[in-house]
Chain A
Amino acid sequence: MEFSRRGFLKIAGLTFLGLAAKPGWEVISKVKPSESSPAPNYFSGKKWGMVIDLKKCWEAKEEDIESINTCHRIHNVPSIQSIKEEIKWIWTIEYEKTFPEHIHDFNEEEYKGRSVIVLCNQCDDPPCTKYCPTRATWKREDGIVMMDFHRCIGCRYCMAGCPYGSRSFNWRDPRPFIKKVNLEFPTRTKGVVEKCNFCEERLSQGLLPACVEARKDKAIIFGDLNDPHSEIRRAFHGRHILQRQPELGTKPKVFYIV
């Protein structure tokens, strides 16, 4: 049989088409995951804040300790007994160190040396996020200054940027220093920075932050600063409101009332 050039091309073309059919069909019939459900808008319109009633705190010191222990237990914060390597999300410091701009020669004696509970201020204009080269820390729409431990490269610029010392660095594997690991929250690894996350994982489940829930004296009030009828906004009425170093312009969202 004479095999013409035209005939050869036809057969070759059909053969290639036949060979391409199976992979082509696989591309078209590929299992595609459906889009995840649309985001419930719990970020929008909210601005989470915290009010700490110092008068109530000073009446019951053990409640402060309860708040700190609960937070650290829930978030797998290791207890490392060294000032350089310690990890803290919430802790206490003296009144005069918390509010240095309020200290003068005639301060009421009762304020001096009193311990004040401090945590990440969740600043409205956070300096830490501006330093982060990988966007591992950023301000969410609801005002929470978040940490993405997956992205943190451990450069510690954010720690240099934070004027409140709210951030801690994991100089070593923290796991051996955790008394009892909470499975619900990951531990951290060597070489990442961590800080208070305003219990965003609890907020997403409709729970209050651990430090608020842990205490019975209601000295810490948490809520939406944008809502004029919220408990937190009502707590401001008729009280003297303090912020930590407001002159720095970071606009802390953790307020103190005395």
Chain B
Amino acid sequence: MYDGKKIIPGLVLFLGIVTYPIWHNTVSGKTSYVPKPEIPADKKECVEPKAFIRINHKDLLDDWRTSVVRSGIRIYQASNKKKYTMSLNRTCMDCHKDKTKFCDQCHNYMGVRNDCWDCHMYPKELKAGVK
């Protein structure tokens, strides 16, 4: 090989730079990071089973929004026949008081952005500074 002394270290350097994000994250422990949404200790159940909420919370919230704003239906009957007021502020955030400890945990991890909080507020936010 011509110029092997230059090519091989060059290739090693190149591969090192290209794979930098992978081994940097491995060394700093980021690859083993798991989002930890804080579950309120004093509450036993959500409006629907955890498995359903995990996958479908966005559709559920969308349905609630449409139902309340467009159709004026404000009561949600859950699969266990319990009734809940369809409200982000009053129902969801009544248990999950701080969105930074719950919603943001997974949303930030997955790089998901939503516009809910441009208008809606959560109780902790009020205490923290919004007048």
A189 touches B73 (CB 8 A): no
Closest A residue to B79 by CB, please name it: A34
Chain A, 129-159, contact with B by CB distance < 8 Å: what is the 0/1 string?
0000000000010000010111000000000
B121 touches A181 (CB 8 A): yes
In whole angstroms, what is the CA distance A149 to B68 when docked? Answer: 12
Q: How far is the CB of A122 from chain B (nearest CB, A)?
A: 15
Is A82 located at the chain interface by the 8 A CB criterion? Answer: no
Q: Report the contact-size class of chain B (Cβ under 8 Å from the partner).
A: 20 to 34
Query: B78: which of A33, A148, A186, A190 is its contact (CB, 8 Å)?
Result: A33
In whole angstroms, what is the CA distance A179 to B76 when docked? Answer: 33
A175 contacts across to B, CB distance below 8 A: 130
B52 touches A37 (CB 8 A): no
A146 touches B69 (CB 8 A): yes
Select the stretch in B6-14, B23-31, B37-45, B112-120 that faces chain A: B112-120
Interface of A is mostly: loop
B78 contacts across to A, CB distance below 8 A: 33-34
A42 touches B115 (CB 8 A): no
Q: How far is the CB of A79 from chain B (nearest CB, A)?
A: 12
Is B1 located at the chain interface by the 8 A CB criterion? Answer: no
Query: A189: which of B75, B119, B131 is its contact (CB, 8 Å)?
Result: B119
Q: How far is the CB of A179 from chain B (nearest CB, A)?
A: 7
Closest B residue to A151 by CB, please name it: B69
Is A99 located at the chain interface by the 8 A CB criterion? Answer: no
Question: How many contacts A-B (CB < 8 Å)?
Answer: 70
Chain B, 98-131, contact with A by CB distance < 8 Å: what is the 0/1 string?
0000000000000000010011110100100011
Interface centre among A33, A35, A183, A200, by most chain B C-beta atoms within 10 angstroms, is A33
A31 touches B126 (CB 8 A): no
In whole angstroms, what is the CA distance A181 to B52 when docked? Answer: 33
Is A180 located at the chain interface by the 8 A CB criterion? Answer: yes
Q: Report the contact-size class of chain A (Cβ under 8 Å from the partner).
A: 20 to 34
Query: B67: which of A32, A33, A36, A181 is its contact (CB, 8 Å)?
Result: A36
Is A187 located at the chain interface by the 8 A CB criterion? Answer: yes
Closest A residue to B52 by CB, please name it: A31
B123 touches A189 (CB 8 A): no
In whole angstroms, what is the CA distance A35 to B77 when docked? Answer: 7
In whole angstroms, what is the CA distance A32 to B55 when docked? Answer: 12
Chain A, 25-68, contact with B by CB distance < 8 Å: what is the 0/1 string?
00000011111110110110000000000000000000000000
Question: With A36-B73, A42-B72, A184-B90 as given contacts, are A31 and B120 in contact (CB-CB < 8 Å)?
Answer: no
In whole angstroms, what is the CA distance A140 to B71 when docked? Answer: 9
B72 touches A181 (CB 8 A): no
A148 touches B69 (CB 8 A): yes
Is B74 located at the chain interface by the 8 A CB criterion? Answer: yes
B121 touches A186 (CB 8 A): yes
- Provide a sorted-by-A list of 18 A–B residue pairs whose CB atoms are within 8 angstroms: A31-B52, A33-B48, A33-B79, A34-B81, A36-B67, A37-B73, A37-B83, A148-B69, A179-B131, A181-B130, A183-B121, A183-B123, A186-B89, A187-B119, A187-B121, A189-B119, A200-B72, A204-B72
Which A residues lie at the B interface, using CB under 8 A? 31-37, 39-40, 42-43, 140, 146, 148-150, 175, 178-181, 183-184, 186-190, 200, 204
